[in-house]
Amino acid sequence: MAQIVEITDTDDPRLADYRDLRDVQLRKNLEAEHGLFLAEGEKVVRRAVEAGFTARSFLMAPRWLDGLADVLDRSEAPCFVLAEKLAEEVTGFHVHRGSLASLERRPLPTVESVLAGARSVLVLEDIVDHTNVGAIFRSGAALGFDAVLLAPRCADPLYRRSIKVGMGAVFTMPWTRLPDWTNALPDLTAAGFTTVALTLADDAVAIEEAVAGLDRVALVLGSEGHGLSKRWEEAADRRAVIPMREGIDSLNVAAATAVACYITARR
Amino acid sequence: MAQIVEITDTDDPRLADYRDLRDVQLRKNLEAEHGLFLAEGEKVVRRAVEAGFTARSFLMAPRWLDGLADVLDRSEAPCFVLAEKLAEEVTGFHVHRGSLASLERRPLPTVESVLAGARSVLVLEDIVDHTNVGAIFRSGAALGFDAVLLAPRCADPLYRRSIKVGMGAVFTMPWTRLPDWTNALPDLTAAGFTTVALTLADDAVAIEEAVAGLDRVALVLGSEGHGLSKRWEEAADRRAVIPMREGIDSLNVAAATAVACYITARR
C-alpha cells in the first residue's frame, strides 16, 4: 500500500519529478535522464497503473485521495499529498483533477514484436505536436488499429500532454520507435505490409481505393506543417488522399488520421 | 492603404485591442463589449480580410510587414509595428508568425438564412473547448458540410484560438447561434432536416445506417465531457454511433466529427 506523505514545503526534494511541468525542454531532459513519465488526472493515472507501469510516486491534493484509493492500495510507491495551491507552485500549472503520478518508462520493444500479429499499423513520421500524437493514438485505438511506429523525430507519446489527450491509449496500444528512418518503409514492405502514404501528391488516389482489399496495411502520416519527407512519400507503395471539398486541401492531421483509420479498418 | 504606425511604448492606448490575450475571461468581455475579434498569423489574417471582415487595426513585428503588404494595401486601418519582444509584452504570449489583426464582428445571420440551400449541417450543443470548435469548423468545411449552428452555450468560433485551429474556416462557413435551445431540434425537423444525434445511447445505430439515403441532414454533437443533454438526445430524429473497437467507447469530439462528417457527406 502506498505510504501517504504530507508535504508542506514546495522545495521538498522528493517532489523533483513534478517540477516545472510547463517547460517542455526541461521536462524532456529530466524525463529522459531519469527514465520516467508523468500521468495526469484520475482516469489516466489509474489506466497507467492498470496497464502495469510501475509508479515512482504519486502527487495529489487531499480531495483526490479517495478517488484513487484502490490504485494507491495496490502500489508500493509513496503518495505525496499537498494543498492544491502548493501543487500548482511546484508544477507551474493547474493540475487537472488534482492528481499526478510519476511512472517508470520501460525499454521500447523491437519493431518485429510490435508488428507481430498486427494487421493495421500507423506510422508517424515527424508529428511534432504532443496533442496530435495523443489524438492519433486515441483514434487509432478506438478505430481498430493494432500498433503505432514512430520515426526518430516524432514527438514523445509518453509526454504528459500526449498521454492526457490520448486518454491513456498509449498504455495499451503496442508502439515503438523505428531505429532507421532511411529504410523504414521498404522494411515494412519487406515485412508484408502495404505502405499507404497520406499525401496530396499528384498520383495520390482516394483512400478507399488505395486500401481496398489489402491484408496488412501501414498507414503513413507526415508532419503537421510540411507533410511527409520526399523520401518517405516516394518510398511508400501507394499514395492516398482523403477526398475534400473543391478549393480546400487540408485537414488537421488528427482529423485526417481519424477518417483514414476509419476507412482503412473497413477495407 | 493602411497607415504604418511605429510603436515603442507598450502602454500605448492604441494597443488596447491586443492586451492580455491569454486571459480568456477578460478577452471574452473585451471582445463582446467592443464587437471585435482577433486573427493571428499571416494566413489567417489574410483570410479574414479576404472574407470581407473590416479590420480595426493590425499589429505586427517589422519582419511580417512584407508578407502582408498586399493585405495592408487594401485596408484603411492603421498597422501598429513594434518589436517582437514588445508585442509579446502587450499580448502576454508568443505571437504566432508575428502578426495579429483586430477585426469587427458582424451581426449574426438568422437561422433561416444560414440553412437556406444547405444540405448538410452541423449542430453543436455545448462544445466548450475553443480548439475543438475550430477543429470542427475546419473538418466540416473540408469534408463537405454547408453550415454550422451553435447552441447558446457553445464556445465562440471567433475566439482567436478557434479561428487559428480552424485555419479561418469560420470566415467562409455560414454559421449562427440558435436563439432557442429548447426547441432547436424540433425546429430543424420542421425545416426539413433529419436530425441525427451522435451518442452512445442504447438505441443508437451505426452512423452509415443512420444517414443512408437522407436528403437534408443535421448532425448533432454534444459536449466533450458529458455528451448531449437528455433533451437534445431524445429530441433528435435518430441516434447514431461511430462503431468502435470492443471495450473502447469514446473518440475525441473533433475526431468523431471528422469521421461522422466524412460518412454523412457520402450518404
pLDDT digits (tens, 9 = 90+) for A51-90: 999 999 999 999 999 999 999 999 999 999 999 899 999 9
A245 and B142 within 8 Å at the Cβ level: the answer is yes
Give the residues across from A123 on adjacent strands.
A149, A220
Burial B84-118 (b: 16+ CB within 10 A, else e): eebbbebbeeebebbbbbbbeeeeeeebeebbeeb
Q: Considering CB atoms only, which of A244, A248, A255 is closest to B135?
A: A255
Distance from CA of B252 to the nearest CA of A (A): 7
Domain boundary among B104, B120, B136: B104
Quick one: B145 and B128 in the same domain?
A: yes
The cell numbers describing A67, all together, are: 478517488
A255 and B250 within 8 Å at the Cβ level: the answer is no
**pLDDT computed for residue A23 by the predictor:** 84
Quick one: A221 and A137 in the same domain?
A: yes
Strands (E), B24-94: 36-40, 55-60, 79-81
Check pLDDT > 80 for residue A249.
Answer: no
* pLDDT band, very low/low/confident/very high, at A28 (cuts 50, 70, 90): confident
Residue of A nearest to B166 (CA): A252
Stretch (H or E) spanning A263: helix A253-265
* pLDDT band, very low/low/confident/very high, at A245 (cuts 50, 70, 90): confident
Quick one: A100 and A207 in the same domain?
A: no
**pLDDT computed for residue A94 by the predictor:** 80
**pLDDT computed for residue A98 by the predictor:** 79
CB-CB contact of B189 with B117 (8 Å): no
B141 and A242 within 8 Å at the Cβ level: the answer is no
Quick one: B123 and B74 in the same domain?
A: no
**pLDDT computed for residue A238 by the predictor:** 97
Domain range for B238 = 111-265
Q: What is the mean pLDDT of residues A163-183?
A: 94
Residue B49: how many CA atoms within 13 Å on its side-chain side? 24
Which residue of B143, B161, B165, B221 is the best one to mutate when testing the A interface, meaning the one whose CB has the most A CBs within 10 A? Answer: B143
B254 and A251 within 8 Å at the Cβ level: the answer is no
Give the residues across from B126 on adjacent strands.
none
State chain A's maximal CA–CA distance in angstroms. Answer: 63
- Least Cα distance to A205 among A216, A194, A215, A190 occurs for A194
**pLDDT computed for residue A257 by the predictor:** 95
Strands (E), B97-193: 99-104, 120-124, 147-150, 175-177
- Looking at the structure of chain A, the number of domains it has is 2
Backbone angles phi, psi at A99, to 5 degrees: -135, 145
Distance from CA of A167 to the nearest CA of B (A): 9
Q: How many CB pairs under 8 A join A and B?
A: 75
- Least Cα distance to B189 among B221, B212, B218 occurs for B218
Taking CB atoms within 8 Å and a gap of at least 24, the contacts of B81-89 are B81/B4, B81/B5, B81/B6, B81/B7, B82/B6, B82/B7, B82/B8, B82/B10, B86/B7, B86/B8, B86/B10, B87/B18, B87/B59, B87/B60, B87/B61, B89/B10
CATH code, domain carrying B255: 3.40.1280.10
| pLDDT digit string, tens, across residues B207-219 | 999 999 999 999 9
A135 and B242 within 8 Å at the Cβ level: the answer is no
Distance from CA of B107 to the nearest CA of A (A): 26
Chain B interface with A: residues with Cβ < 8 Å: 135, 138-139, 141-144, 165, 167, 242, 244-245, 248, 250-252, 254-259, 262-263
State chain B's maximal CA–CA distance in angstroms. Answer: 63
**pLDDT computed for residue B27 by the predictor:** 86
Q: What is the mean pLDDT of residues A213-226?
A: 94
A245 and B144 within 8 Å at the Cβ level: the answer is yes
Quick one: A259 and A156 in the same domain?
A: yes
Q: Considering CB atoms only, which of B139, B250, B259 is closest to A262?
A: B259
Give the CA distances from residue A186 to residues A80, B119, B216, in Å, rounded to whole numbers and listed in that order.
49, 44, 46
Q: For residue A107, give every residue at least 6 positions away whose Cβ sits within 8 Å of its Cβ, in sequence order, or none.
A: none
Quick one: B41 and B156 in the same domain?
A: no
Quick one: B98 and B122 in the same domain?
A: no
- CA distance linking residue B117 with residue B109, whole number of Å: 14
A143 and B250 within 8 Å at the Cβ level: the answer is no
Check pLDDT > 90 for residue A178.
Answer: yes
Domain boundary among A104, A131, A147: A104
Collect all residues of chain B within an 8 Å Cβ-Cβ radius of residue A256. Answer: 258
3-state secondary structure of B256: helix
**pLDDT computed for residue A264 by the predictor:** 97
Residue numbers in chain B where pLDDT is lower than 70:
96, 249
Check pLDDT > 90 for residue A111.
Answer: yes
Quick one: B98 and B118 in the same domain?
A: no
Collect all residues of chain A within an 8 Å Cβ-Cβ radius of residue B173. Answer: none
CB-CB contact of A53 with A102 (8 Å): no
* pLDDT band, very low/low/confident/very high, at A32 (cuts 50, 70, 90): confident
Domain boundary among A54, A75, A104: A104
Quick one: A181 and A239 in the same domain?
A: yes
Residue of B nearest to A263 (CA): B259
**pLDDT computed for residue A165 by the predictor:** 92
Task: Classify the C-alpha dihedral B96-B99-B100-B101 as positive or negative.
Answer: negative
Quick one: B91 and B122 in the same domain?
A: no
A167 and B250 within 8 Å at the Cβ level: the answer is yes
CATH code, domain carrying A35: 3.30.1330.30
| pLDDT digit string, tens, across residues A189-204 | 999 999 999 999 999 9
Q: What ipTM describes this predicted complex?
A: 0.87
Quick one: B121 and B97 in the same domain?
A: no
End-to-end CA distance of chain A: 48
Q: Considering CB atoms only, which of A143, A250, A257 is closest to B244?
A: A143
Quick one: B65 and B132 in the same domain?
A: no
Note the Cα A9 to chain centre separation in Å: 33
- CA distance linking residue B221 with residue B98, whole number of Å: 35
B244 and A139 within 8 Å at the Cβ level: the answer is no
**pLDDT computed for residue A69 by the predictor:** 93
